[in-house]
Structure 1
Amino acid sequence: MKIRVLLPTIMDIFNEEVHQEFAHYLDESVEVQVRHLDYGPASVEGEYDEALAIPNMLEKAIEAQNEGCDGVISLCFADPGVKAAREAVDIPVVGAGESSMLFASMLAKSYSVVTVLPNVIAMIENVTKSVGVHGKLASIRYVDIPVLDLVDKEKMEQALFEEMVKAIEIDKAHSLILGCTGMMGVAETLQNKLKEHGYDVPVIDPSFASAKVLESVISMKVKQSRITYMKPTEKLRTAR
């Protein structure tokens, strides 16, 4: 099995960490390839950034199929390009946001997302509606840390913990999701810390969730429905 993980950023600062994390998520027989964008935004922190990321994300998804990959992950909580890529390729495409929401809503009657900035709240709400789990959304909170500053793990973890406690106590969340794929490597630690404080709830890492969803879909030999995601019609199109 060979999967391609697409990062919607022109920066390569997360590439190695993503590769290492996915090596822990998946069986050693799975080949994981990580790619960032050739052109687009440095990070996705709003609709404008997402729109800039999608053209090259689609090109990268098509490239993955042409190079023999079995599936593609859009590794961003906003799931940029997922629906369009599902139309364009014949291999399964999954998003990190939708994958984590499906897990969280399955494991609890309600969930909260703790993300990076207020700029992305509307985007995340749109994903919850698209996935069909908006009715279980308790809240969307944010730590006010830009994506590119998430390299400070200690600061990020403390801020996440504080907002997660508020989500449980104030918003009545029964499960929690890390609302950015840059928040890698802290889900289990936060889950254990919450349990020590009396909150025995699941904390879902969107990267981990997307890896397991794609692995399962490929193993089941299924992909996106061609009734839902119809092939693009033949016409003239121009790119960059």
Structure 2
Amino acid sequence: MLRRIDFINPFGTRAYDEIIHRTLSHYAGDGTELTITHLEGCPPDIDYFYSKHLMESVLFERIMKSEEEGFDAVIVGCCYDPGVRTARELVDIPVVGPMEASLQMAAYHGHTYTIVTDHHKAAPYIEDVVRLSGLGGNCRGLRTIEWFVRDMITNPDAVALDTITRCREVTAETHADAILMGCTIVAACYQQYIMKGGQPPEMAIVNPNLMALKVAETLADLKQKGGYHISRSGYYEKPQGHYAEEFTKARSKFIKAMDL
């Protein structure tokens, strides 16, 4: 049975599409049609939070359109998991965040893990994501490699080598069993380096792109076979009654204003 997965790079640029496709499509299961998309009309990166909030509004439209276009699941390709919970209020297909998926899958790689993310600005936000998930009990901390995402794409091999060095330092420091890469572009740079024949580090690596893909494929299969239903009785309740009318009007105005 064909499953269609939309991996949305939540950036207003196509700069990251190719490296994600190159490093992720190899791992797609039989019967998976993996599409890599990006956003239009929003900032090219979300290193700063104002840009992140602008991007999320456009992202919600892209996710709703993904459902309308027949995708079976959506991955929001950033470890901030931007807009993931809000999007689940809007659509009935599974919406997967790479960080949440990685936290859920980390125990299969090792008993404890340390997160290695991109830079100091991202670190406290990622810590908040972990805390909100309730899955951080075996996390032994978070460290950074001090690269911003827009710079990574210009020198991905350097990013990979810095990441591997940091992983070794962090493992020696924390004695964690595994490293969870807390950035999808860091993970893509690392994966590309390994796929080109680079030497991987000695510890287990939790790659958020791969974890998100496998979670999305599983939930898509369950959705197709009637085994996935998101609760609409509380947190993810859809707008109802006059709230639905307000939502439709607000969405229409937003689409017109943004020329989407």
Normalising by structure 2, we get a TM-score of 0.83
The answer to whether the Cα contact below 8 Å between 1:116 and 1:146 also exists between their aligned partners in 2 is yes
- Distance in 2, Cα, partners of 1:25 & 1:110: 25
Question: What SS is found at the alignment partner of 2:6?
Answer: strand
Aligned to 1:83: 85
Give, as a single letter, the amino acid of the residue that structure 1 aligns with 2:190.
V
Aligned to 1:198: none
- Distance in 2, Cα, partners of 1:135 & 1:92: 25
Match 2:122 to one of 120, 123, 129: 120
Match 2:181 to one of 131, 155, 178: 178
Aligned to 2:170: 167
Matches within 5 A, 1:14-25: 14-25=16-27
The answer to whether the Cα contact below 8 Å between 1:46 and 1:123 also exists between their aligned partners in 2 is no
What residue ranges of structure 2 are gaps of 5+ in the alignment? none
Do residues 225 (structure 1) and 227 (structure 2) align?
no
Aligned to 2:244: 234
Do residues 27 (structure 1) and 33 (structure 2) align?
no
Deviation of 1:167 (Å): 1.6
Deviation of 1:175 (Å): 1.1
- Distance in 1, Cα, partners of 2:229 & 2:109: 24
Question: What SS is found at the alignment partner of 1:193?
Answer: coil
Deviation of 1:12 (Å): 0.6
User: What is the number of residues matched between the two proteins?
Assistant: 235
Deviation beyond 4 Å, 4+ runs, structure 1: none
Structure number with bigger Rg: 2
Distance 1:137 1:235, change over 3 A: farther
Distance 1:107 1:81, change over 3 A: same
Deviation of 1:29 (Å): 2.3
Deviation of 1:75 (Å): 0.4
What residue ranges of structure 1 are gaps of 5+ in the alignment? 196-200
The answer to whether the Cα contact below 8 Å between 2:5 and 2:74 also exists between their aligned partners in 1 is yes
Q: CA RMSD in A?
A: 2.1
Normalising by structure 1, we get a TM-score of 0.90
Deviation of 1:235 (Å): 4.5
Deviation of 1:28 (Å): 4.5
Deviation of 1:107 (Å): 3.0
Give, as a single letter, the amino acid of the residue that structure 2 aligns with 1:181.
T
Identity %: 26
Deviation of 1:45 (Å): 1.4
- Distance in 1, Cα, partners of 2:23 & 2:160: 17
Give, as a single letter, the amino acid of the residue that structure 1 aligns with 2:150.
L
